[in-house]
Amino acid sequence: MSAIDSLPPLSQVIARHQIAAKKSLGQNFLLDLNLTSRIARQAGDLRACDVLEIGPGPGGLTRALLAEGARRVLAVEKDQRCLAALSEIAAHYPGRLEVLNQDALKLDVAAYLTPPVKVVANLPYNIGTELLIRWLTPADWPPFWDSLTLMFQKEVAERIVAIPGSKAYGRLSILTQWRAKARIVMEVPPQAFTPPPKVTSAVVHVVARERMLFDADEATLTRVVAAAFGQRRKMLRSSLKTLAPDIESVLMTAGIPPTERAENVSIEGFCALARALAK
Ligand code: SAM
């Protein structure tokens, strides 16, 4: 029996169902249910919410989300080997856990969820950034989710919350903070995972803003930011020259010196630039 429910400890579950971690699936499992409960609590009160979990694996975080009172958990897991372990959890919490054996990158999850929705996940590192960008750039805003509580490599987490002028500031910082408030809420050392990854991890809590901070067309902003940080050491008049024939005057219209470098331009500045380019 474990500390948070009467299900067996995760090490036993993994041994019984033969779920040896696979590197190709980004499998670094959390076996300490006190730790997964702490992560679940970072998402706030779950009782009135549907929770989307990507990659439940053997179910350590899933169990914590259910024990913390989530109204319903939708768990999307690509690895078929985890399904038997997850159905034991579903049986323990009747009607509250639905598992989809699918690739999260190929699924439109919104159709399976009832608002309000919180996303909580210890993401596979190889698809974490791609999923975050998708969740931040849907066709319509506000998105299907209210908050995202996600584990990333610490270095990625730092990029998400970085401010202008810092080394970590870039595309992820701007796309996230333009439409959401983000902060690092926990650091998690390598030894907390089985097997331990090479780097420290961190949990980021992202809360969707009702509206973006400054007006801009999302596709134009994404294009400008990608070009600017694609060559972050260059002056903007050079890194952005393929975006418009008269890029220096577009930069000046936006109030940005053409000799400025991307890492010193605020989100407000990039939005002004996207608006000037769209004209
Ligand atoms: N949540 C578990 C935990 O904290 O112990 C497992 C986390 S592990 C870092 C990532 C999980 O994502 C694995 O169970 C892996 O099989 C799953 N996964 C990897 N790629 C996936 C994909 N494209 N779609 C859905 N699940 C995926």
pLDDT digits (tens, 9 = 90+) for 202-231: 999 999 999 999 999 999 999 999 999 999
Q: Are residues 61 and 161 in the same domain?
A: yes
74 Cα to the center of ligand 1, angstroms: 13
Q: Which of 208, 226, 254 is the last residue of a domain?
A: 208
Q: Give, for ligand 1, the residue of 10, 19, 25, 199 to mutate: max count of ligand atoms closer than 8 Å to Cβ.
A: 25
Question: Looking at residue 279, what is its pLDDT?
Answer: 85
The whole-model pTM stands at: 0.96
> Which residue minimizes the CA distance to atom 17 of ligand 1?
55
Q: Are residues 200 and 222 in the same domain?
A: no
Q: Are residues 181 and 52 in the same domain?
A: yes
| C-beta of 78 in contact with ligand 1 (< 6 A) | yes
Q: Is residue 4 part of a domain?
A: no
Question: Looking at residue 63, what is its pLDDT?
Answer: 98
pLDDT digits (tens, 9 = 90+) for 119-154: 999 999 899 999 999 999 998 999 999 999 999 999
Q: Are residues 57 and 121 in the same domain?
A: yes
Q: Is residue 3 part of a domain?
A: no
Question: Looking at residue 52, what is its pLDDT?
Answer: 98
Q: Is residue 1 part of a domain?
A: no
Q: Are residues 82 and 191 in the same domain?
A: yes
Residues 6+ apart with CB under 8 A from 54: 75, 76, 104, 119, 121, 123, 124, 131
CA angle 86, 94, 135 (to 5 degrees): 60
Question: Looking at residue 1, what is its pLDDT?
Answer: 55
Closest listed residue to residue 213, CA positions, set 274, 259, 157, 152: 274
Q: Is residue 115 part of a domain?
A: yes
Q: Are residues 71 and 154 in the same domain?
A: yes
CATH number of the domain to which 202 belongs: 3.40.50.150
CA distance linking residue 100 with residue 80, whole number of Å: 10
| C-beta of 56 in contact with ligand 1 (< 6 A) | yes
Question: Looking at residue 139, what is its pLDDT?
Answer: 87
- State how many domains the chain has: 2
| C-beta of 73 in contact with ligand 1 (< 6 A) | no
Q: Is residue 30 part of a domain?
A: yes
Q: Are residues 73 and 158 in the same domain?
A: yes
Quote the domain boundaries for residue 133. 10-208
Q: Is residue 126 part of a domain?
A: yes
67 Cα to the center of ligand 1, angstroms: 20
Burial of 83 (0-12, 13-18, 19+ CB in 10 A): middle
Q: Are residues 240 and 202 in the same domain?
A: no
277 Cα to the center of ligand 1, angstroms: 40
Q: Are residues 22 and 50 in the same domain?
A: yes
CATH number of the domain to which 228 belongs: 1.10.8.100
> Which residue minimizes the CA distance to atom 19 of ligand 1?
25
Q: Which of 208, 243, 258 is the last residue of a domain?
A: 208
| C-beta of 30 in contact with ligand 1 (< 6 A) | yes
Q: Are residues 108 and 136 in the same domain?
A: yes
Closest listed residue to residue 132, CA positions, set 169, 176, 88, 168: 176
CA distance linking residue 72 with residue 66, whole number of Å: 8
What does the block give as tokens for 97? Answer: 């856990």
Q: Are residues 271 and 195 in the same domain?
A: no
Residue with tokens 């639905």: 98
Q: Are residues 248 and 118 in the same domain?
A: no
Helix H or strand E segment including 225 = helix 218-230
| C-beta of 63 in contact with ligand 1 (< 6 A) | no
| C-beta of 128 in contact with ligand 1 (< 6 A) | no
| C-beta of 269 in contact with ligand 1 (< 6 A) | no
pLDDT averaged over 10-residue windows placed end to end, the chain, 279 residues:
88 97 96 98 98 98 98 98 98 98 96 97 95 93 97 98 97 97 98 97 98 95 96 96 96 98 98 95
